[in-house]
Copies of this chain bind each other. A is one copy, B any other.
Amino acid sequence: MDTQNVFALRGGKAEIEEGADFAPKFDADGLIPAMAVDATTKEPLMLAYMNAESLRRTLEIGEAVYWSRSRKEFWHKGATSGHIQRVVEIRTDCDQDALVVVVEQIGAGACHTGRNSCFYRKVVPATAGGTAKLEQIGGEKSFDPAAVYGKH
């Protein structure tokens, strides 16, 4: 399917910022970043990327479909784990080069490490002579990734 028929062509700054046409901007690799946010808790779950076709599919089926940069293939989130993301709302920003995907996270979590959110650590700034560290924040594993993803 030709995604040019699904999204509007990008107009001038005023149209992009204030207009009613959805004209997403994809980067040089054809991707737009998409932050999935939990509809209930509002917690950020994961940041992934969509290309035009995965965004079109997401809108069509109402479940998040990303583009896997490492595997170079469509990534229907939850197809393997069952942890599907039902799309409640997709937001875009002023210049339409980023997305927030508000989702109902089905199953135990979004993260392949077995946690609800991929953002389970906070940065602790470096002390003199050291490097910055990470500290876990409520990142208890909510499922066993080995059981869910098999060989992983």
Which residues from chain A sit less than 8 Å from chain B, CB to CB?
A: 5-8, 17-22, 33, 35, 37, 42-44, 46-47, 59-60, 89-94, 98, 100, 111-113, 115, 118-126, 131-135, 137
List of B residues within 8 angstroms of A124 by Cβ: 22
Across the two chains, which residue of chain B brings its CB closest to A32? B47
List of B residues within 8 angstroms of A35 by Cβ: 35, 44, 47
- Smallest beta-carbon distance A64→chain B, Å: 13
List of B residues within 8 angstroms of A132 by Cβ: 6-8, 22, 59
- Smallest beta-carbon distance A70→chain B, Å: 9
B100 engages A119 (CB within 8 Å): yes
Across the two chains, which residue of chain B brings its CB closest to A93? B118
List of B residues within 8 angstroms of A92 by Cβ: 119, 121-123, 134
List of B residues within 8 angstroms of A91 by Cβ: 44, 119-123, 137
Across the two chains, which residue of chain B brings its CB closest to A89? B122
Q: Report Cα–Cα, A20/B135, bound state, in Å.
A: 6
A44 engages B44 (CB within 8 Å): yes
A17 engages B133 (CB within 8 Å): no
- Smallest beta-carbon distance A115→chain B, Å: 8
List of B residues within 8 angstroms of A20 by Cβ: 133-135
List of B residues within 8 angstroms of A118 by Cβ: 93-94, 98
User: By CB atoms of chain B within 10 A, which of A89, A94, A98, A112 has the most?
Assistant: A94
